[in-house]
A and B are shown apart, each in its own frame.
Chain A
Amino acid sequence: MNVQLSRRSLLKAAGAGVVVTSLGALGFEAAEAAVAAHVRPFKLANTTETRNTCTYCSVACGVILYSRGDVRKGERAELIHVEGDADHPTNLGTLCPKGAALKDFVRAPTRLQYPMIRRPGSDRFERVSWDVALDRIARLMKDDRDRNFIARNADGLAVNRWTSTGMLAASATTNETAWATFKVAKGLGIVGFDNQARV
């Protein structure tokens, strides 16, 4: 039941070259074959199809993502097209003006590529390695927690609150990411912890 269905398997096999050859075999003259050769190849030929869910609102429309390459095979994959999933009971293949342009979100020029640091007073971000960024974050957080953690209140009751560092979680992440995030944040004692449901 969890199989990734392949709706366009027929079309996948039919690249542009195959089309021209078939036309020839059907007895078309060279002139027609030349015209056919100018027809842009079907862009979804030889793509990987993946079931996904629109990242915007909570209607949660089913989408089919078409990529060149297959991440499940460990290949580099590039998203080239997005369509509504006709099998999905809610959207039945339709998408709104936002969902129809999902590809532009995934491939936006302002997608972030590398960890960056803006130092105090600076007017720019500087690229750093993940190790530098993560070590720095762990250090900053631990120092602040150690300095400001409220272990007990005035009555001596164990209250274990870390109020001087807060976190906002992302309500476009998965439930699984949310659970991992929850464990870390609540485990550290962060009480200023919310997500967009607060808005």
Chain B
Amino acid sequence: MTNSWTDIRNTDLVVVMGGNAAEAHPCGFKWVTEAKAHRGAKLIVIDPRYTRTASVADFYAPIRQGSDIAFLMGLIRYCIENGKVQWEYAKAYTNASFIVKEGFGYSDGLFSGYDPEKRDYDRSSWDYEIGEDGYAKVDPTLEHPRCVWNLLKRHVDFYTPEMVERICGTPKEKFLKVAQMIGECSTATRTMTSMYALGWTQHSHGAQNIRGMAMLQLILGNIGVRGGGMNALRGHSNIQGLTDLGLMSHLLTGYLNMPTEAEPDFETYMKSRQFKPLRPGQTSYWQNYRKFMVSFQKAMWGSAATAENNWCYDYLPKLDVPSYDVLRMFEMMNDGQVNGYICQGFNPLLAFPNRAKLTSALSKLKFLITMDPLETETARFWENHGDFNPVDTASIQTEVIQLPTVCFAEDEGSLTNSGRWLQWFWPAATPPGEAKHDTRIMGEIFLRMRELYRKEGGAFPDPILNLSWEYHDPREPEPAELAKEINGRALTDLTDPADPNKVLVPAGKQVLNFSQLRDDGSTMCGCWIYSGCFNEAGNNMARRDNRDPGGLGTYPNWTWAWPLNRRTLYNAASADTQGRPWDPSRKIIEWDGSKWVGDDVPDIAPTAKPGQVLPFIMNPEGSARLFSRGMMRDGPFPAHMEPFESPVPNVLNPRMRGNPVARIFRNDVAQFGNPDEFPFAATSYRLTEHFHYWTKHNRVNAVLQPEFFVEISEELAKLRNVTNGGWVRVWSKRGEVKARALVTKRIRPLICDGRTVHVVGIPLHWGFTGAARKGFGPNSLTPFVGEANIETPAVKAFLVNLEPSTAPQDRPGVTS
């Protein structure tokens, strides 16, 4: 989230698209209710189903899953055509005026540089013209035919209300009503917020969905302001934290990147990370990358990391592919190239697509280690449960070691919520049986392996032998010790660059925040964006002062938010180019003539002059990008792409299937289904009574929603002779499920390009362990393909067939 849950109260219009906050995030959704009740805010829901969020909306518009880009580009077109643009903001704070290179083009749904063989673009033409002064050329009058604004106007021209209806199935008058309500937020004193979740991310073009809305928000002047922003609702309690801390194949901590084979040494790695400003006087804060990187390496390898050995740069693995993401790992596993897998609090057998393939892959492992508070389907993938898990147990040679861990009630530490608040919590219960903390298990595995490497030697033991592991009890690092490492400390006295006799931070003391980090090895810091969380003032994440000085939901002393306790990102954009708040009643910060002041930590240097230093300090432009240069694989603007399995062809280019640059593994191509065989458009979703595959273990939740079902319209039920509550079989090219049919009015057929599209809704909370009845997940059906930039499985839009059936059978002797 750019903003926070409590900030939603300040909005005038909430757009929920690609999410269902009332069901999946009920207590956060209360701030929508507050905004409606106390500000007169309106709520729009755009979704294939009439969800519980839709049921309290002021306006609901249906949409075919996977067609969001067309809808969003249609909204941008409407705003441009009807003058619904916050001009001062858009001109000053976005790259609208930047001039794009000659040679950039777009036709038939494809940008310049497409290579169908490689399924990739040559992105060299997707960039700015650079002047002789080394800065990007701009035309503030926006008259240049190749300035971003004019390219955008041309790009969205295709997405007329009629075209939106044709692609999305949203009736034109409903689309126009949404567009008109959104357009009202282009004034300086009306703001709109976007709340989205996996309904946007789980598509092969997921990142472009989000960019589409971000661009709209920029045109409306809604980024950096109270009640505005791009607000990813996020799923698990610390999914933000694990992303921030870089527990991903392609990341290090704080959005530093894993090196690649193209970066054989540290200087080459740093060379492509200079972040030279693209306009005069801009901050381009990533210019500090080297300080964060060196401090990170010192946190990893302590005194072993020296200037002479480039801070142990050689210890870091170098990637030969963009990422060894989960889809790639299961592909390799299925191909016999992976022997061991560790699943810590993760149940991939239900979470990833194409379950038959996952089972086949897990069966080829030599060993599987699971760490979890609960039984998982993954840990028992080898166990036969009849139709629910039809495996031949004896033939599966995988050794499985299942380790019991604590859960939240027995643990201590911090979790980062969607609004970037790091909140500390304390343990209340004794773990059951012999369950242990995850830190203990990781510590024990590490110490045992290190000991084996000490004794036996082995493959490149250096990064293991030298890993910094200085804890009071090395078997089980304490939460506070780890938090202090994440914050960082001085390793030698840090003196004032202006006065070498003045010690700013004595050796061994915690740094105040990342502004004190250095690139000479004198500081260590686990994760620079979290620096400030546990400094010499103490554990700031444990602060519990819930006063709200401005009365607008900032809560500046409640726990701690990254970065620097800043509650609204890009908040310098809440003021105009003179530093005056666009809306004085929703002021965040303002320029007092010499510095920025206000309730929040300014997201700009405190004395940076408004109008000169622009608010998007992380970008070398200083402004936000309507045109994203070559930074995304699938285009500098979002263009309509169909799902790989779509009930209709792509109207832009009927030969284009899915995202033209999404990675597809060879054997998966044959497993894509076509609408003649699989005529119905399926999607997956969550229910308010359940959380993923956990709450089926709880008696209360299992009673509230005991049994797997699929949701279909009355029209589809009639078409296939299905009765409400009767059994149906739903199958795709990859597998089948049997479920109770829930026939509702919440799903209605859509008319797309003249064809009737029936939508099938499949909730995702059932498996074969726990207290609820045994059932299936949508992943028995979903395709094995990921988002083109980040490889999030594209499982929100796929094709199925459906017919009446009989109940699924458990293994003989067991009744489910």
Residues of B near A78 (CB, < 8 A) are 429-430
A7 vs B105: C-alpha distance when bound (angstroms): 64
Q: Are A65 and B428 in contact (CB under 8 A)?
A: yes
Q: Are B408 and A177 in contact (CB under 8 A)?
A: no
Q: Are B439 and A108 in contact (CB under 8 A)?
A: no
Q: Does A192 contact B (CB under 8 A)?
A: yes
Q: Are B452 and A139 in contact (CB under 8 A)?
A: yes
Are A52 and B701 CB-contacts (below 8 A) given A58-B237, A193-B249, A198-B248? no
Nearest-Cβ distance from residue A100 to partner chain B, whole angstroms: 8
Q: Are B346 and A123 in contact (CB under 8 A)?
A: no
Can you list, as one digit per residue, whether each of B359-375 has a CB less than 8 Å from chain A (1) or not (0)? 00000001101011111
Which segment of B138-146, B476-484, B671-679, B721-729 sits at the interface?
B476-484
Residues of B near A66 (CB, < 8 A) are 428
Q: Are B435 and A144 in contact (CB under 8 A)?
A: no
Residues of B near A121 (CB, < 8 A) are 393-397
Which chain A residue has the least Cβ–Cβ distance from B352? A199
Q: Does A98 contact B (CB under 8 A)?
A: yes
Residues of A near B328 (CB, < 8 A) are 192
Nearest-Cβ distance from residue A147 to partner chain B, whole angstroms: 8
Nearest-Cβ distance from residue B11 to partner chain A, whole angstroms: 16
Q: Are B425 and A61 in contact (CB under 8 A)?
A: no
Partner of B239, one of A104, A171, A179: A171
Q: Are A160 and B315 in contact (CB under 8 A)?
A: yes
Which segment of B56-64, B75-83, B220-228, B410-418 sits at the interface?
B410-418
Can you list, as one digit per residue, whether each of A44-70 has a CB less than 8 Å from chain B (1) or not (0)? 000010111111111111100111010
Partner of B409, one of A52, A183, A192, A193: A52
Q: Does A17 contact B (CB under 8 A)?
A: no
Q: Are B401 and A89 in contact (CB under 8 A)?
A: no
Partner of B245, one of A79, A151, A178: A178
Which chain B residue has the least Cβ–Cβ distance from A159? B318
Can you list, as one digit per residue, whether each of B524-546 has a CB less than 8 Å from chain A (1) or not (0)? 00110010000000110011111
Q: Does A10 contact B (CB under 8 A)?
A: no
Residues of A near B548 (CB, < 8 A) are 89
Residues of B near A91 (CB, < 8 A) are 27, 30
Q: Are A170 and B344 in contact (CB under 8 A)?
A: yes
Are A151 and B460 CB-contacts (below 8 A) given A168-B346, A184-B446, A193-B249? yes
Are A52 and B5 CB-contacts (below 8 A) given A116-B402, A144-B339, A176-B413? no
A148 vs B172: C-alpha distance when bound (angstroms): 58
Which chain B residue has the least Cβ–Cβ distance from A70? B428
Nearest-Cβ distance from residue B568 to partner chain A, whole angstroms: 15
Q: Are B346 and A179 in contact (CB under 8 A)?
A: no
Are A120 and B340 CB-contacts (below 8 A) given A182-B246, A195-B243? no
Q: Are A58 and B240 in contact (CB under 8 A)?
A: yes
Are A50 and B426 CB-contacts (below 8 A) given A160-B463, A165-B338, A179-B482? yes
Q: Does B615 contact A (CB under 8 A)?
A: no
Which chain B residue has the least Cβ–Cβ distance from A78? B429
Residues of B near A114 (CB, < 8 A) are 404, 433-434
Q: Are B425 and A52 in contact (CB under 8 A)?
A: yes
Which chain A residue has the least Cβ–Cβ distance from B469? A183
Q: Are B393 and A138 in contact (CB under 8 A)?
A: no
A112 vs B240: C-alpha distance when bound (angstroms): 26
Residues of A near B314 (CB, < 8 A) are 158, 160
Q: Does B342 contact A (CB under 8 A)?
A: yes
Partner of A61, one of B27, B341, B436: B27
A141 vs B400: C-alpha distance when bound (angstroms): 13
A120 vs B339: C-alpha distance when bound (angstroms): 14
Partner of B427, one of A2, A50, A101, A177: A50
Can you list, as one digit per residue, whether each of B785-814 has a CB less than 8 Å from chain A (1) or not (0)? 000001111000000000000000000000
Q: Does A164 contact B (CB under 8 A)?
A: yes
Q: Does A191 contact B (CB under 8 A)?
A: yes
Which segment of A20-28, A30-38, A128-136 sits at the interface?
A128-136
Q: Does A16 contact B (CB under 8 A)?
A: no
Q: Are B318 and A120 in contact (CB under 8 A)?
A: no
Which chain A residue has the least Cβ–Cβ distance from B23? A96
Residues of B near A198 (CB, < 8 A) are 248, 325-326, 790-792
Q: Are B247 and A194 in contact (CB under 8 A)?
A: yes
A117 vs B452: C-alpha distance when bound (angstroms): 22
Which segment of B154-162, B509-517, B685-693, B754-762 sits at the interface?
B685-693
Are A101 and B344 CB-contacts (below 8 A) given A112-B435, A195-B247? no
Q: Are B458 and A146 in contact (CB under 8 A)?
A: yes
Q: How large is the interface on B (under 10, 10 to 19, 20 to 34, 35 or more residues)?
A: 35 or more
Q: Does A161 contact B (CB under 8 A)?
A: yes
Q: Are B467 and A187 in contact (CB under 8 A)?
A: yes
A88 vs B425: C-alpha distance when bound (angstroms): 12
Partner of A137, one of B243, B423, B426, B445: B445
Q: Are A182 and B239 in contact (CB under 8 A)?
A: no
Are A117 and B399 CB-contacts (below 8 A) given A50-B427, A56-B237? yes
Residues of A near B403 (CB, < 8 A) are 112, 115, 133
Nearest-Cβ distance from residue B514 to partner chain A, whole angstroms: 16
Which chain B residue has the least Cβ–Cβ distance from A86? B546
Are A175 and B416 CB-contacts (below 8 A) given A181-B344, A188-B449? yes
Nearest-Cβ distance from residue B645 to partner chain A, whole angstroms: 19
Are A108 and B771 CB-contacts (below 8 A) given A89-B558, A160-B315, A194-B325? yes
Residues of A near B546 (CB, < 8 A) are 87-89
Residues of A near B698 (CB, < 8 A) are 101, 104-105, 108
Q: Does B348 contact A (CB under 8 A)?
A: yes
Interface core residue of A106, A112, A198 (most chain B CB under 10 Å): A198
A174 vs B235: C-alpha distance when bound (angstroms): 15
A135 vs B240: C-alpha distance when bound (angstroms): 33
A78 vs B430: C-alpha distance when bound (angstroms): 6
Q: Does A197 contact B (CB under 8 A)?
A: yes
Residues of B near A164 (CB, < 8 A) are 337-340
Residues of A near B769 (CB, < 8 A) are 110
Nearest-Cβ distance from residue B99 to partner chain A, whole angstroms: 36
Q: Are A137 and B247 in contact (CB under 8 A)?
A: no
Partner of B793, one of A105, A181, A199: A199
Nearest-Cβ distance from residue A150 to partner chain B, whole angstroms: 9
Nearest-Cβ distance from residue B685 to partner chain A, whole angstroms: 14
Which chain B residue has the least Cβ–Cβ distance from A173? B438
Partner of A123, one of B325, B369, B393: B393
Interface core residue of B333, B402, B701 (most chain A CB under 10 Å): B402
Can you list, as one digit per residue, whether each of A73-90 has a CB less than 8 Å from chain B (1) or not (0)? 000111100001001111
Are A106 and B453 CB-contacts (below 8 A) given A60-B417, A166-B340, A172-B237? no
A144 vs B480: C-alpha distance when bound (angstroms): 33
Q: Does A40 contact B (CB under 8 A)?
A: no
Nearest-Cβ distance from residue A42 to partner chain B, whole angstroms: 19
Q: Are B464 and A187 in contact (CB under 8 A)?
A: yes
Residues of B near A51 (CB, < 8 A) are 425-426, 544
Q: Does B499 contact A (CB under 8 A)?
A: no
Q: Are A141 and B27 in contact (CB under 8 A)?
A: no
Are A112 and B445 CB-contacts (below 8 A) given A52-B426, A193-B247? no
Q: Are B253 and A71 in contact (CB under 8 A)?
A: no
Q: Are A181 and B530 in contact (CB under 8 A)?
A: no
Residues of B near A162 (CB, < 8 A) are 317
A54 vs B423: C-alpha distance when bound (angstroms): 11
The contact sample of 19 A-B pairs, CB cut-off 8 A, is A57-B25, A99-B27, A112-B374, A144-B339, A160-B316, A177-B438, A178-B245, A182-B245, A183-B467, A185-B247, A186-B316, A192-B324, A192-B329, A193-B248, A194-B325, A194-B326, A196-B239, A198-B792, A199-B198
Residues of A within 8 A of B (CB): 1-2, 4-5, 48, 50-62, 65-67, 69, 71-72, 76-79, 84, 87-92, 94-102, 104-106, 108-123, 125, 130, 133-142, 144-146, 148-149, 151, 153, 157-199
**Besides A168-B326, A193-B249, 18 new A-B residue pairs in contact (Cβ under 8 A), listed by A number:** A59-B25, A66-B428, A96-B26, A97-B701, A101-B701, A108-B771, A112-B374, A116-B402, A117-B400, A123-B384, A140-B367, A142-B456, A146-B459, A160-B316, A168-B344, A173-B438, A194-B249, A196-B235
